[in-house]
Chain A
Amino acid sequence: MGSILFDYRIVCDRHFFNEVIKNKKYLSPSKPSIMQKLMYINDKAKNHSRIHNVMSKKVFQDILKENSSLSRGILRASFWDCDEEEFEAIGDEMERNIKIAIDVLDEEPNRTMILTSTAMVTAYQQNPHYIKELNIKAGVEAIAIIDSYFNSCCPR
């Protein structure tokens, strides 16, 4: 199976990681796990292989600190730790994630989706830096999109 141009780039925050990947509050009906599916999506993305799924470097490093058994290689296979000085200097994490997502909009497919927890969706949409071109997804809705992307790049 070749590479796929997915219709949205993905920016993932710590709340999505903790709610769906670590604590499994919402589960996909199909195997493998969401973490593995994101690994395949990140690898198979056309023109963005290994950088399709974006995460702030600070968030990436915090996740590694909080999960000392988690191999950096595993997390890196699922997410690119974006290290843009301009964004990483932003102290407010939500503002930082929104600005990373807006920056990614400049690149094909010119659509970005922020994955977060169900409790944070409204907060993102009400953030003064939010723009309507960004899609905010969480919970079962986010899982359905990941499942659909995985099925398109790894048909069974």
Chain B
Amino acid sequence: MATTIIDDVLIGDDARLFVSKVDVDYAKPSLKDIIFNPDNTNKFLLLRKKIGSKIIIDDVKVVDDALIDSMLV
């Protein structure tokens, strides 16, 4: 089954809403913990989703300056 990988940046609340409304699996259980961390309410989260027969949350990162800097080298 072919899959598509999509990166999306969502604010913490929107990321929670997304994973609550859509039936998703997680590549690792710790990714769910990152999304539902109460500290993330106003922070941007980078969600990497694998879209196939089922949406799998493949990776989640908190968007901070260290992450952005690491992508701009």
Interface residues of A (CB under 8 A from B): 21-22, 31-33, 35-36, 39, 43, 67, 69-74, 76-77, 154
Contact = CB atoms under 8 A, between A and B. Distances in A.
**What does DSSP make chain A's interface, helix, strand, loop or mixed?**
helix
Interface of B: 6-9, 11, 42, 44, 46-47, 63-65, 67-73
Which 5 residue pairs spanning A and B have beta carbons closest together? A73-B7, A77-B9, A73-B9, A70-B71, A33-B65
A36 B9 CA distance: 12
**What does DSSP make chain B's interface, helix, strand, loop or mixed?**
mixed
9 contacts: A32-B64, A36-B64, A43-B11, A69-B71, A69-B73, A71-B71, A73-B9, A74-B71, A77-B63
Given A32-B65, A71-B7, A77-B9, A22 B72 contact: yes
Contacts of A67: 71-72
